[in-house]
Each structure stands twice: as structure tokens, then as C-alpha cells.
Chains A and B, each alone.
Chain A
Amino acid sequence: MTVLDEKDRALLRLMVQDASLGAGALGRKVGLSQPAAWRRVRRLQEAGIVAGRRLRLDAAGLGFGVTVFLGVKLAAKGPVGLEDFERAVRAIPEVQTVEHVLGLYDYRLRVVARDIADFERVLRRRIMTLPGAGQVEANVLLSEERRPGPL
């Protein structure tokens, strides 16, 4: 495992806020030369710690006013069931994230929709018809806060 020092953590904190910063700008903020910052960023990428970038969009401004988290229980379990379900659920454009979990539900889905009526359409036509889908629980997202984590 890659051991991180304080400079690495400072770089990560900056990159989580703004991934478009170049090595020069990152270096200036943490007190490193451009090449030194570049080498550290590359090491963090190669170690898989920086797994990629994500574009931050204003979902509401783009007309997606509703986010719903669904807990989905499979009606029957088995390796074939999992694969079929995962392949089908991954292909639904309104489904933003899919996590396989252990507990009350088998899968946790993040679904985005224009409004509640649009969500109902997604739920009925896309989710309820998924192969193997059993009981579904829905919770409508009211607020969300992402924390920096232990950096």
C-alpha cells in the first residue's frame, strides 16, 4: 500500500475540490515545484488512489428535480440471477449508481428523474421489470452533503 504524507493529502484535498487544477497550480498551493507536484499526482493515480474524475453538474438546473434511492431485494438468488439483474440495471440511463450490498436489501440504486411522475414511470417500466427484482423500497432524497473523508 502506498504511504501518504501530509503533502499528498493536501494535494488530494485540492483535487477533490477541483480536479482541473494543473501541477503548477497544485504545487503553488501546497509549496511544491511543478515537477514535484506532477510526480506526486502521477504516483497517486498509478496507485489507484485517484481513480478518475467526475463532472459536477447542477442536476436541478438541467431539469432533474428528483433523486430517489431504491433498496431492491432479489426475488431469487443465485449467480445467474445476479448477473442478469446487474447487466439490466446498469443499462438504465436514469440509474446513476448501483451498489451490491449485504443486509436488508441486495442492491442500492440511485435514480434520477425529472419529477415524481417521471420517477413513477422509471419505477414501473424499468425497475419493476428488471429480471429477478423483488421487493423495492424508495426513499426520496431531500438533501445531500459530501464530506472530504479522512484526508
Chain B
Amino acid sequence: MLDDVDRRLLRYLQGDPALAVAELAGRAGIGAGACWRRLERLREAGIVLGQEAVIDWAAMGYSVEVSLRVTLDKTQSRAFDEFIAGARTIPEVLEIQTFLGRVDVRLSVIARDMVDYQRLYRERILTLPHIADIEALMHIARIKSDESLPL
């Protein structure tokens, strides 16, 4: 189980995953050796899965980001599997999420501009199988994006 020191380490690491062990240990008020052992234990326990670089797609020229909320035709038993398999083949799809609620599947899609988005939407998205309804939310601004857990 996690104790307060573990939680503190995770909080600091969430804030800055690039922190060196010595710096992290200093902030948490423990020795570097103890800090290293705790991190190792958190990794072995599968609590810390790793760290990923965050890509700013707008800086790569993808200025359009759309959240597509899809309702599937659930009379087709393979609707989810076949829709998701199709969505995976579209490079511009960044996220595929399934839900319990009014929305079945959500796709996060990027495009270079509206012309590019129009092509993508008409040629790749609308041709995916088993779509009953589709709603689009156009992304305007990201207000908070750290995805931190409230530890």
C-alpha cells in the first residue's frame, strides 16, 4: 500500500516528470537512496507505468481538432468492434474512447485545416461502419490538460 511519502513523490512527479531523483528526494524530505528504492517499488507494482512526451499537434501544423461523438447501430452485434477497428486505420484519430451513456464512442481527430478536415470527415469518418448518429464538438481552447490524479 502507498503511504504519505509515496503519494508526495507521485504528486511532485506528476507536476514535473523530468525531475531528477536527487531533486525529488529533497522536495519530499527523504534521502536519494530511499527515494530511488520507493520509485523502483512503485514501478514494479505497476503504479508508475512510465512517462510519455506530450506532442503539441498545433505546433506540427494540425490546427483543427474535433471531438466526434458517435452513436452506433446496436442492432449489429459487431458494431463496436468493427467501428473501432476501422477508426484505428485512420492516422488522424488520436483517441478512441467507449462510454456508458448517451454517447457510444468518441473519436478525437486532428486535421491540418478545414479543407483537410472536410476530406477526412467525408472520406474516412463517414465511411466507418455502423454509425447511427454523429455529433461534432470543435475544439477552441485547452483550459487544463495536466491529467493529474488528485493524490
Contact = CB atoms under 8 A, between A and B. Distances in A.
A55 B14 contact: yes
Contact of B96 (A15, A50, A145): A145
Interface residues of A, number: 62
A1 interface: yes
A142 interface: yes
A19 B19 CA distance: 12
Given A54-B52, A56-B48, A149 B17 contact: no
Given A51-B54, A61-B47, A101-B140, A138 B59 contact: no
Interface in B38-79: 45-57, 59-62, 67, 69
Given A93-B150, A146-B95, A55 B51 contact: yes
A147 interface: yes
Contacts, number: 197
B148 A141 contact: no
B100 A140 contact: yes
Interface string B98-128: 1111110010001000000000000000000
B144 A50 contact: no
For A15, A142, A143, A150, the residue with the greatest tally of chain B CB atoms inside 10 Å of its CB is A150
A7 interface: no
B148 A96 contact: yes
Interface string B122-151: 000000000000011111111111111111
16 contacts: A1-B59, A1-B61, A12-B53, A48-B59, A49-B56, A53-B53, A55-B14, A56-B51, A71-B137, A99-B142, A103-B137, A104-B69, A139-B101, A141-B98, A145-B84, A145-B88
